[in-house]
Homo-oligomer: A and B are copies of this chain.
Amino acid sequence: MKASTQRSDRQRHGGRDAADTPPSGDAAPADAAARFVDGYLAYLLAQVSNRISCEFHREVEAAGLSVTEWRVIASLVGSRGETIGALSEATLTKQPTVSKVVLRLETGGLVVRLRNRKDRRQTLVSLSARGRRLADGLVARALRHQTAVLAPFGADNAAQLVRMLRTLLALHPPGGIDDASEADVPRRPARARATTKSR
């Protein structure tokens, strides 16, 4: 229910044909009209993130995990227990999805769910022995892959890249999703607020 209707009126094309211009193949000969996205940071980040990840996802699937499952597992490596909420943030997946994936992983014997004694609302998820074994193998491969990816840059540049990414992370706190601080004004598309609340 985003833009316009959802009906699929047209059968086949309306009939109009394109003039002649072949779309941007890769290198435009004369009309060097660059696509906007090719210089857009968010696009570059998304593309790079996706391509790097996808390369490794082959190994993930070979291990019998879905991408979301791998993200959850990976987020648990080196941790003593993560809440559903923390996993949601770490895996870039909405909370209900994480709840379900974790449940699936638990029945699969890869993770364990406990209750936090300090706050009995939260569910603490951690790797089972079997989950840790599986994770260790994948993590080793992941690090090898990462090394290969960063290799072309040399240690210094690679380190700087990682440093800049970390800086960006620190500069842009998560949770831009739900924000209802001033609970009075219901919904205002108004002026963009850059001040992300930290939690």
Residues of chain A at the chain B interface (Cβ within 8 Å): 2-10, 13-14, 16-24, 31, 33-56, 58-59, 61-62, 64-66, 69, 74-75, 77-83, 86, 90, 92, 103-110, 112-118, 120, 123-124, 139, 142-143, 146, 148-150, 152-154, 157, 160-162, 164-169, 171-174, 176-177, 189, 192-194, 196
Asked whether, in the complex, the Cβ of A21 is within 8 Å of the Cβ of B176, the reply is no
Instruction: Please name 9 pairs of A and B residues whose Cβ atoms are closer than 8 Å in the assembled complex, sorted by A.
Output: A4-B104, A17-B120, A23-B82, A33-B79, A37-B77, A40-B74, A58-B176, A59-B192, A149-B172
Distance A41 CA – B90 CA, assembled complex (angstroms): 13
- Is the beta-carbon distance between B79 and A23 smaller than 8 angstroms? yes
How many identical chains are in the complex? 2
Q: How far is the CB of A170 from chain B (nearest CB, A)?
A: 10
Cβ 8 A contact of A37, one of B16, B90, B174, B192: B90
Q: Assess whether A17 is in contact with B115, with CB atoms less than 8 Å apart.
A: yes
CB–CB A164/B169 < 8 A: no
Inter-chain pairs besides A52-B172, A161-B161, 20 sampled, C-beta below 8 Å: A3-B105, A6-B104, A17-B114, A18-B116, A18-B117, A21-B81, A33-B80, A39-B162, A42-B53, A45-B45, A46-B92, A48-B165, A48-B172, A51-B172, A55-B172, A55-B176, A58-B176, A62-B189, A149-B168, A152-B194
